[in-house]
Structure 1
Amino acid sequence: MAWLNKGRDWLLWLGLYLWALSGTIIVTINAVWLYWVNAHLQHLGSLVNLATGRLMTNYLQLLAYLNFPWVGKLKMTDFTDSTSALIHFADVKGLFMLDYAVFILTSITTYYFWRRLKRQQQLWRFVLPMQTALWVPPIIAAVMAVNFDQFFIYFHELLFRNDDWLFDPLYDRIIIVLPDTFFLQCFVLAILVLEWIFATYLMIGKRALKSL
């Protein structure tokens, strides 16, 4: 039965990492404030002859479609999309739904894992795994810093099996107000959030180790 317990522990650790990653994604994709900052500083609305408030309305309509299962059709007040763009946004929505499902499931397993370690006074076990995990976000950041455009392309090729993400500004004006700089900032935000989660668990583990 030892192998069974070991396998269960591996799954619980995997669940913890997936919880941190999926939670980070949720925080990042719903960082409306970040888009608002970009809309103001880059005057994105003026690129498509829209006031910033009107642009934000359209952005929130897009997020509502991507976030909520009951919103079955993408409809933005001032943007129409080509067939390929609609297919791409539907693919993105599918990934969003998967991420939410993973987060809900791993929230349960992570809570169970946490309670078990706390009850057994083994929260110190977070130390080594989190020390290792802390290296991952900086490595990703370094890869991004070398060539973000290429990184962005690889990212899409990894997640999508088609080229529908290659929008044509003539037909899909929404891409004009979704600049690469905004997506770069989203990745940076995600890296910072993920690093904070790992650092928090490391701090908890070290405190538990000192109390032994």
Structure 2
Amino acid sequence: MVWLNKFKNAAQWLSLYLWLVSGTIIVTINASWLYFANAVGQKLGATVNLTLGRLMTNYYQLLAYLNFPWVPKLTMNDFTDSTSALVHFSDVKNLFMLDYGVFIVTSVVVYFFWQRLRRDRQLWRLVLPMQTALWVPPVVTVIMAINFDQFFIMFHKILFRNSDWLFDPLLDRIILVLPDTFFGQCFVLVFILIEWSFFYLLSIGRQALREAD
């Protein structure tokens, strides 16, 4: 049964990583303050002849559709999207639901895993996995910084099976108020949060090592 213990151990560590990543994504996609800052700084409302308040209302309507399974249809006060745009937003909603599902499932696994590590005084085991994980966000950030446009395109090609994410501003004005700079900042926020999470768990592991000496 050694293989079973190894599989269980690997599944627990994988669940911890997935929990951290999915949780970070949830925080980021709901960071409406970041969009508000972009709306103010870039005067996004003016590009579509909307006040800031009106623009934020539409943005919250979009978030409600993407976040809540009981909102089956995307309806925004001032934007009517083409069929391809609606398909894309539906695909994004499915990814949101997948992320929430991963977070919920891994939360259960991580809870019992964490309790076992604490009970057995093995929180020091966090050190090596977190030290290794700390290198990932900086490497991805460098790759993204070298050519963000190419990174953004590859990101969409990996996640989406079609080209519906290529919006036509003449048909889908919503794209005029969802600039690439905003998405770039979302990526940066994800990397900052996940890096902080890795560092925080690393500090817990190191503290456990000191207490064990």
The TM-score with structure 2 as length reference comes to: 0.99
Aligned equivalents of 1:42, 1:145: Cα separation in 2: 21
2:30 is the counterpart of 1:30: yes
Match of 1:146 in 2: 146
After superposition, give the CA deviation of every residue in 1:141-197 in whole Å (9 maximum; x if it has no partner): 000110000000000000001000000000000000000000000000000000011
Indicate the SS of the match to 1:203.
Answer: helix
- Kindly report structure 1 stretches of 4+ aligned residues shifted beyond 2 Å: none
Matches of residues 53-92 of structure 1 in structure 2 within 5 Å? 53-92=53-92
Match of 2:203 in 1: 203
Name the Cα RMSD after superposition.
0.4
Aligned equivalents of 1:188, 1:180: Cα separation in 2: 12
Aligned equivalents of 2:107, 2:199: Cα separation in 1: 18
Gap regions ≥5 residues in structure 2: none
Match of 1:103 in 2: 103
Gap regions ≥5 residues in structure 1: none
After superposition, give the CA deviation of every residue in 1:53-91 in whole Å (9 maximum; x if it has no partner): 100000000000000000000000000000000000000
Aligned equivalents of 2:190, 2:151: Cα separation in 1: 15
Shift of 1:8: 0.1
Match of 1:117 in 2: 117
Indicate the SS of the match to 2:76.
Answer: coil
Aligned equivalents of 1:9, 1:204: Cα separation in 2: 19
Match of 2:186 in 1: 186
Give me the identity figure in percent: 69
Match of 1:174 in 2: 174
Indicate the SS of the match to 2:168.
Answer: coil
In structure 2, give the amino acid aligned to 1:164. Answer: D
After superposition, give the CA deviation of every residue in 1:89-136 in whole Å (9 maximum; x if it has no partner): 000000000000000000110111100011000000000000000000
Match of 1:158 in 2: 158
After superposition, give the CA deviation of every residue in 1:32-59 in whole Å (9 maximum; x if it has no partner): 0000000000000000000001000000
Aligned residues: 212
In structure 2, give the amino acid aligned to 1:175. Answer: I
Aligned equivalents of 1:30, 1:140: Cα separation in 2: 22
Shift of 1:2: 1.6
